């Protein structure tokens, strides 16, 4: 594909990144990535963005021409699971693409620089590319007591987030913690943890929740930005519709078993071995929006339900509290003990009401009430 | 009591009221059975090609639509100017006469007074329960349709129900939907019992009334909202 006709998109991204560097296509060629592998990657990304296959050449052309964007990666209160997921991307070519092409200019976990050097690198990146770089945030932000529970090089995460995310072109909150506070924000939330959207109101934020986030969804989000020069369409939780627009339950490979009424009843039973639906084991697929069934994890190898574990609902807000108990379908009734399901309480109520009326009926049968007709004489 | 009693026949439940009642009752029955099976699926298909849960959910959704249509129709019907089905009948606690009638009812239920009430139209206490029931219905509609619309996020129904999604998580909706079912079941137990009790005690043909539309009374004058009603349930003159 020739790159002498400069497309609108590449100009725009050049402006944004401000770098006079090689285009992604050129970098790839230098790295020895074959054209075939590159096109395969482009088709995979087109599919991940829920675009029709006919878009693949457009994606390839745009990536050929576009300059690499500047990306800053911040780690806050997290387990580094999302970085892990990214680094462990199974296919080395795609892994390289993600790491080298998207050029992480600052990433505390994997950068060579440390200490003041690292601080300087961050500082210079965000001043030089103000309003043009992409910031990726991993982990929640502590808000309580001025945010003192989470600090990096003497600054609170809150302070860093407000500064770095505030002047980014867009911030990608990767993983459930960065998106909604995640595990750290679970009751009783001792550090007052929140997601980036609550810590830096007003910033442009793309939430990519998931525990961990599927690396393909991150790549697809960045590719979307490179190809179209804007952030993807988001749902009301700030998640890209291409990845979070469908419910797990509606795309699940076990769905035919759900509709057939075939369920796993206990772990390891015959149904479990046959791949029946995990609904009765507390699957939260009916309440969770994510592309796990189609995109799957680790180069489309597997995902929890395929492996025989119910969906935990990890990409929904406050999942640790809202989606619990993990192996029960319905939440516990607030104020009652954990063994009291809604139905036990309901049945108790119904039996109580029934019994009360049975007693009432018995008394009424024995009791001689005045006939209404007697009273009419008084009328 | 040697002189013969003269019972007068009143047309209390017009046809639309009765139709709505039985559509409600039937759909509640179906919704509760299928709803319970959705919560605790016990009938298993023999092969992945069978559609057992699929049909159970389908019946639930069809009955859900039937119920919402019936309830809304009944609410619209209550705008008409009829003694026994107008909306004012539902709020007896707003008027002094109504509150007095509720008190009579309560005294009867709690065995305080042997005087049996003789409600020709709605029983004033039952009517108060219907208001509660309708509120529960609307909670069921909101949570039910919000759960239903999740198969098509961004669709017309999901967009219209956005406030519900903002108000509670999907899991909370499942929970409230479930609790709502049990509240309705409690209502039904209460309702059928009271209807049966009053059928015996009031001697006005309570149970048959919801089939035929007629109730009987020996009362000389029948009032509703302080206005007197004729045998067809039309207001005839203002009291006093
Ligand atoms: C799922 C079951 C049922 C539900 C949800 C239900 C609901 C209702 C409602 C909402 C009303 C008020 C009618 C209106 O104003 O339009 C009503 C009235 C009535 N229902 Fe039912 N009903 C059920 C079952 C039954 C059954 C099985 C019977 C007969 C044994 C019955 C007998 C009556 C009678 C006699 C009335 C008029 C009583 C009055 O208001 O004083 N219902 N019911
Ligand atoms: C008012 C009477 C109703 C009763 C008693 C009732 C009862 C139930 C129950 C017990 C469940 C199981 C909840 C769970 O375990 O997750 C359920 C699920 C459900 N109901 Fe209802 N429901 C009623 C009305 C409605 C209406 C009006 C709709 C609207 C279409 C509706 C739609 C649903 C949906 C979508 C589900 C979840 C199905 C699934 O997750 O596969 N319900 N219902
Ligand atoms: S395993 Fe979970 S997501 Fe899949 S069909 Fe069953 S309930 Fe739905």
* CATH number of the domain enclosing A143: 3.40.50.700
Q: Are B145 and B35 members of one domain?
A: no
Domain that residue A87 falls in: 2-243
Which residue in A has a C-alpha nearest to residue B221's C-alpha?
A379
Domain boundary among A243, A264, A280: A243
Q: Which of A222, A243, A264 is the last residue of a domain?
A: A243
In a domain, B90, yes or no: yes
Question: Under a CB-based contact definition with an 8 Å cutoff, are residues B39 and A244 in contact?
Answer: no
Say if A336 falls within a structural domain. Answer: no
Q: Report the complex ipTM.
A: 0.89
- The rounded distance, in Å, linking the Cα atoms of A146 and B221 is 74
A65 inside domain: yes
Locate tokens 């954990």: which residue? A338
Residues in CB range of B158: below 8 A, 6 or more apart? B146, B149, B150, B152, B165
Tokens 């192996």: give the residue: A327
Average pLDDT estimate for A141-154 = 92
Domain count, chain A: 3
- Do B160 and B110 share a structural domain? yes
Examine the domain organization and report whether A66 and A192 are in the same domain. Answer: yes
Residue with token string 């349709």: B145
Q: Same structural domain for residues A144 and A285?
A: no
pTM for the whole thing? 0.88
Q: Check whether residue B98 and residue B165 sit in a common domain.
A: yes
Q: Is A72 within 8 Å of A126 (Cβ atoms)? A: yes
| Mutational pocket test of ligand 3: of A250, A277, A281, A284, the residue with most ligand atoms within 8 Å of the beta carbon | A277
Three-state secondary-structure class, residue A289: strand
Q: Does the residue A337 lie in any domain?
A: no
Tell me: pLDDT of A82 over 80: yes
Q: Are residues B94 and B69 in the same domain?
A: no
Q: Which domain holds residue B22?
A: 15-77
Query: Of B77, B100, B126, which one is at a domain's C-terminal end?
Result: B77
**Which of B40, B53, B111 comes nearest A260 by C-beta?**
B53
Q: Examine the pLDDT at A6 and tell me if it is beyond 70.
A: no
Q: How far is the centre of ligand 1, averaged over its atoms, from the C-alpha of B235 (Å)?
A: 24
Tokens of B138: 């609307």
Mean pLDDT, residues B24-40: 96
Residues B160-180, mean pLDDT to the nearest whole number? 94
Confidence of residue A107 (pLDDT cuts 50, 70, 90): confident
For residue A303, what pLDDT is reported? 96
Cβ pair B48:A257 closer than 8 A: yes
Cβ within 8 Å of B, A 236-275 = 236, 241, 245-247, 250, 256-263
Q: How would residue A7 be classed by pLDDT, with cut points 50, 70 and 90?
A: very low
Q: Is residue A121 part of a domain?
A: yes
Question: Are residue B62 and residue B105 in the same domain, yes or no?
Answer: no
> Is A271 within 8 Å of A263 (Cβ atoms)?
yes
What does chain A come to in residues?
Answer: 379
In a domain, B133, yes or no: yes
H or E element in which residue B217 lies? strand B214-217
Question: What is the predicted pLDDT for the residue at A98?
Answer: 52
Residue B64: φ, ψ to 5°: -60, -45
Q: Does A138 lie in the same domain as A32?
A: yes
* Pairing status of strand A134-138 against strand A170-174: parallel
Residue B182 φ/ψ, nearest 5 degrees = -70, -35
Whether residue B195 is contained in a domain is answered as yes
Instruction: Quote the Cα angle for B70-B74-B78, to 5°.
Output: 170
**Is the confidence at residue A97, as pLDDT, over 60?**
no
What is the C-alpha to C-alpha distance for residues A44 and A42, in angstroms, rounded to an integer? 5
Contacts of A353 in chain B (CB under 8 A): 186, 189-190
Q: How many CA atoms lie within 13 A of B140 on its CB side?
A: 26
- pLDDT > 70? residue B240: no
Does residue B123 share a domain with residue B72?
no
Question: Are B20 and B132 contained in the same domain?
Answer: no
Do residue A111 and residue A260 come from a single domain? no
Q: Using the predicted structure, report yes or no on whether residue B206 has a pLDDT greater than 50.
A: yes
To test the pocket of ligand 3, the residue of A246, A255, A260, A281 to mutate (highest count of ligand atoms within 8 Å of its CB) is A255
- Whether residues A263 and A234 share a domain: the answer is no
Rounded to 10 deg, the angle between the A35-48 and A215-228 helix axes is 100
Which pLDDT does position B11 carry in this prediction? 92
A252 with A176, same domain: the answer is no
Residue closest to B63 by CA, chosen among B184, B160, B167? B184
Mean pLDDT value of segment B174-195: 95
pLDDT number for residue A379: 43
Q: Do A141 and A177 fall into the same domain?
A: yes
Average pLDDT over residues B183-194: 96
Average model confidence (pLDDT) across chain A: 85
Q: Who lines ligand 3 at CB under 6 A?
A: A 248-249, 252, 254-255, 258, 277-279, 283, 285-286, 305, 311
Q: What integer is the mean pLDDT of A278-286? A: 96
Query: Rg of chain A's alpha carbons, rounded to an integer?
Result: 27
* B145 CA from centroid of ligand 2 (Å): 8
What is the per-residue pLDDT across B77-132, written as a single tens digit (0 to 9) for each? 999 888 888 888 888 888 888 888 888 889 888 898 888 888 888 888 899 999 99
User: What pLDDT sits at residue A334?
Assistant: 78
Q: pLDDT value at position B5? A: 74
The C-alpha atoms of residue A234 and residue A242 are separated, in whole angstroms, by 8
Q: What is the CATH number of the domain that holds B216?
A: 1.20.950
Instruction: List the strands of the sheet with B223-224, edge to edge.
Output: B223-224, B227-229, B235-238
Is residue B2 a part of any domain in this protein?
no
Same domain as A147, residue A206:
yes
Residue B5 lies in a domain: no
Tens digits of residue pLDDT in A342-360: 888 899 999 999 999 999 9
Last residue of a domain, one of A213, A243, A273: A243
Q: Which of A73, A338, A118 is nearest to A213 (CA)?
A: A73
CA distance B224 to B124: 11
Q: What is the spatial distance between Cα A235 and Cα A82, in angstroms, rounded to a whole number?
A: 21
Q: How many domains are there within chain B?
A: 2
Does residue A320 lie in a domain region?
yes
Dmax (CA) of chain A: 107
Residue (of A280, A261, A275) closest to B51 by Cα position:
A261
Asked whether residue A235 falls in the same domain as residue A132, the answer is yes
CA B89 – CA B82 distance, rounded (Å): 10
Same-domain status, A113 and A181: yes
Q: Smallest CA–CA separation between A122 and chain B, in Å?
A: 37
Whichever domain contains A267, its CATH number is 4.10.480.10
**Residue of A87, A106, A74 lying closest to A172 (CA atoms):** A74
Same domain, B70 and B140: no
Please give the Cα distance from A262 to B47 (Å, whole number): 8
- The answer to whether residues A219 and A101 belong to one domain is yes
B124 and B31 in one domain? no
């Amino acid at each position: 594909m020739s790159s002498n006709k400069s497309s609108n998109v590449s100009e725009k991204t050049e402006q944004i990144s401000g770098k006079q560097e090689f285009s992604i296509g050129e970098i790839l060629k230098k790295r020895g990535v074959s054209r075939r592998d590159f096109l395969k990657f482009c088709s995979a990304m087109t599919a991940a963005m829920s675009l029709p296959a006919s878009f693949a050449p457009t994606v390839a052309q745009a990536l050929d021409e576009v300059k690499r964007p500047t990306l800053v990666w911040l780690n806050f209160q997290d387990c580094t699971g999302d970085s892990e997921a990214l680094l462990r991307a199974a296919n080395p070519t795609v892994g390289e693409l993600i790491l080298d092409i998207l050029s992480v200019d600052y990433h505390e976990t994997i950068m060579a620089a440390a200490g003041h050097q690292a601080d300087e690198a961050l500082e210079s990146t965000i001043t030089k590319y103000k309003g043009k770089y992409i910031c990726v945030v991993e982990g929640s932000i502590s808000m309580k007591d001025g945010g003192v529970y989470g600090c990096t090089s003497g600054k609170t995460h809150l302070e860093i987030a407000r500064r770095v995310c505030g002047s980014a072109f867009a911030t990608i909150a990767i993983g459930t913690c960065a998106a909604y506070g995640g595990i750290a924000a679970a009751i009783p939330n001792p550090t007052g943890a929140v997601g980036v959207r609550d810590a830096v109101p007003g910033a442009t934020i793309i939430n990519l929740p998931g525990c961990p986030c599927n690396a393909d969804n991150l790549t697809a989000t960045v590719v979307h930005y490179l190809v179209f020069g804007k952030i993807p369409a988001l749902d009301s939780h700030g998640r890209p519709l291409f990845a979070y627009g469908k419910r797990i339950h509606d795309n699940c490979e076990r769905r035919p078993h759900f509709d057939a009424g075939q369920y796993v009843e206990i772990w390891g039973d015959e149904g479990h071995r046959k791949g029946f639906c995990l609904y009765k084991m507390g699957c939260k697929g009916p309440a969770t929006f994510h592309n796990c069934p189609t995109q799957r994890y680790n180069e489309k190898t597997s995902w929890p339900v395929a492996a025989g574990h119910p969906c935990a609902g990890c990409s929904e807000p406050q999942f640790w509290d809202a989606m619990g108990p993990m192996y029960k379908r319905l939440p516990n009734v607030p104020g009652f003990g954990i063994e009291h399901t809604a139905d036990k309480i309901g049945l108790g109520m119904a039996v109580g009401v029934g019994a009360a009326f049975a007693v009432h009926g018995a008394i009424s049968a024995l009791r001689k009430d005045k006939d209404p007709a007697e009273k009419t004489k008084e009328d | 009591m040697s002189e013969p009693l003269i019972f007068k026949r009143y047309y209390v439940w017009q046809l639309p009221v009765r139709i709505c009642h039985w559509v409600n009752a039937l759909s509640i029955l179906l919704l509760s059975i299928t709803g319970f099976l959705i919560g605790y699926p016990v009938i298993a298909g023999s092969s992945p090609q069978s559609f057992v849960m699929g049909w159970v959910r389908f019946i639930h959704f069809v009955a859900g639509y039937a119920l919402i249509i019936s309830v809304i129709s009944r609410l619209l019907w209550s705008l008409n100017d009829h003694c026994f089905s107008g909306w004012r009948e539902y709020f007896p606690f707003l008027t002094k006469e109504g509150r007095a009638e509720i008190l009579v009812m309560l005294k009867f239920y709690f065995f305080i007074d042997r005087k049996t009430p003789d409600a020709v139209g709605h029983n004033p206490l039952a009517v108060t329960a219907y208001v509660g029931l309708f509120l529960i219905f609307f909670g069921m509609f909101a949570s039910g349709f919000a759960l239903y619309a999740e198969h098509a996020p961004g669709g017309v129904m999901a967009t219209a129900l956005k406030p519900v999604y903002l108000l509670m998580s999907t899991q909370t909706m499942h929970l409230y939907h479930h609790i709502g079912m049990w509240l309705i079941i409690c209502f039904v137990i209460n309702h059928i019992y009271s209807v049966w009790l009053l059928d015996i005690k009031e001697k006005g043909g309570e149970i048959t009334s919801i089939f035929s539309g007629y109730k009987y009374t020996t009362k000389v004058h029948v009032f509703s909202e302080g206005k007197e009603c004729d045998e067809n349930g039309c207001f005839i003159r203002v009291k006093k």
